Structure 1
Amino acid sequence: MIARLMVLAMAVFLVAFLVTPESFAGLFRPLTRNNAPAIYTQTGLLSLTLSHLWLVALAVTASTVTAVGLGVLVTRPAGREFLPLARTVTSVGQTFPPVAVLALAVPAMGFGAGPTLVALFLYGLLPIFENTLTALSTLPPSVVEAARGMGLTRRQQLWQVELPLALPVILAGVRLSTVISLATATIGSTVAARTLGEVIIAGLLSANTAFVVQGGLIVGLIAILIYEGFQLAEKAAARRIGLAPQH
């Protein structure tokens, strides 16, 4: 109960700060020097936050569709031989730092959101793929055999039995990918993407600690809220298949 109240308090504070950041100027003024502004106003914090979340949502959605699709493919009899290739592809984002991906993508795509989306997409593949692979490869054989005994086709078995059973583990991978992407997206501002990294970079360039703290605080609070939200979704999925106690 206490944990839920704390999460609720974080959510209320975050919304209040994004809607009326000027009201919190007194909180950040001790972090400024030489009468520098306490609140970043060059671009609205709410607008930057929504743009940041939109980029992350697009990238994670694309990563999820791709990684789950690859996980399903390599766990089918006809696709098992592609497992090494799939692992290589999904590991690319973890092999090359996002900054390197941005540097390679900018000449081809130009400045803006495009290179950031590519970097986040590649960076988010591996956790989702590995969790999907683990979940689908460790299903109880008795359940799979029962599905076959019921006369389900392979497609029906996948959609009605395998994926629902694997969903909690897959969601855990999506949770990890989302939190990583949320933090990593801040570097997108170095290539002119509209993210909360703009606030942090502005603070670093002007030696204004208040801006740096604001950008980091917003990203941190959103990460906690998203993490908790995914955990609730994982528990709900686990309860649905009887792997967690009903409340």
Structure 2
Amino acid sequence: MSIGLVIRLLVLALLVAFLVSPESFAFVFEPLTKNNQPVIYNQGSLLDLTLNHLLIVAIATALATTVAVGLAILVTRPFGAEFLPLSRSLANVGQTFPPVAVLALAVPMLGFGTAPTLVALFLYGLLPIFENTLTGLTGLPPTVTEAARGMGMTGRQRLVRVELPLALPVILAGIRLSTVISLATATIGSTVAARTLGEVIIAGLLSSNTAFVLQGGLIVGTLAVLIYDGLSAIERALTRRTGQGARANA
């Protein structure tokens, strides 16, 4: 077992221990409080907020992946090539509009809560997945696709059995980037009453309690690093398995 893996497992264990029993870590954050402020976030369960935060990110990323991969497949087929500029423009929408602006536009239609946050994260996560899928599907060695065609495979068979499996490491790199972006961006969902770790940070800012701000930031940051490393490991394993070089845009 490598030292890096041991460190990651230790960090994960510490994170879980903190979420399950945050009071046990009060001595770490106590120096950051003043005027008898509460040391540990006490307006809700950190564990529940973390799980809800992850659930929102997972749903948004799954939706973004479905749409972005579908669009990339469409525009790399002969019948859909003419839609490439339009698809790229749609994927760029989320990056063009700041998530806060998307929330402001979505709230009047969807109300407060999780829904506007999902819309913002979905739009913000489209571009990296779309571009990486496009790169993965268009960057395959011509000899591979020609060999598949020579074996009598239909277009659908080539896509499912050859193109997507070989492009998977690059696609996963886009999903990894999108997920990490969404983890951080989801915190702003608390401004429209979504239950995310942004609640902890906002509560700390409103009460000038640095301990709260640090707790929310550390949880989000740690989750981002662990998920990034985990997806990177899967991506490397797939790259070795398929024999493809790293072509990820991340």
Provide TM-score, normalisation by structure 1: 0.98
Q: How big is the shift at 1:4?
A: 1.5
Q: How big is the shift at 1:95?
A: 0.1
Aligned match of 1:143: 144
Q: How big is the shift at 1:237?
A: 1.1
- SS of residue paired to 1:91: helix
Aligned match of 1:90: 91
Q: How big is the shift at 1:194?
A: 0.2
- Report whether the alignment pairs 1:228 with 2:233: no
Equivalent positions of 1:47-66 (< 5 A) are 47-66=48-67
Aligned match of 1:163: 164
2: CA distance between counterparts of 1:207 and 1:5? 36
Q: Deviations over 1:58-104 (max 9, x none)?
A: 00000000000000000000000000000000000000000000000
Percent identity, please. Answer: 70
Aligned match of 2:238: 237
Query: May I ask how many residue pairs the two structures share in their alignment?
Result: 244
Aligned match of 2:153: 152
2: CA distance between counterparts of 1:153 and 1:217? 50
2: CA distance between counterparts of 1:41 and 1:233? 37
- SS of residue paired to 2:195: coil
1: CA distance between counterparts of 2:3 and 2:29? 27
Q: Deviations over 1:180-227 (max 9, x none)?
A: 000000000000000000000000000000000000000000001100
Q: Deviations over 1:111-154 (max 9, x none)?
A: 00000000000000000000000111111000000000111111
2: CA distance between counterparts of 1:233 and 1:155? 26
1: CA distance between counterparts of 2:220 and 2:183? 7
Equivalent positions of 1:47-126 (< 5 A) are 47-126=48-127
Q: How big is the shift at 1:9?
A: 1.3
2: CA distance between counterparts of 1:13 and 1:194? 23
Aligned match of 1:174: 175
2: CA distance between counterparts of 1:108 and 1:145? 49
Aligned match of 2:3: 2
1: CA distance between counterparts of 2:233 and 2:162? 21
Gaps of 5+ in 2: 246-250
Hey, which bits of structure 1, 4+ residues long, moved more than 2 A?
Answer: none
Q: How big is the shift at 1:239?
A: 2.0
Query: RMSD across aligned C-alpha pairs, in angstroms?
Result: 0.8
Aligned match of 2:46: 45
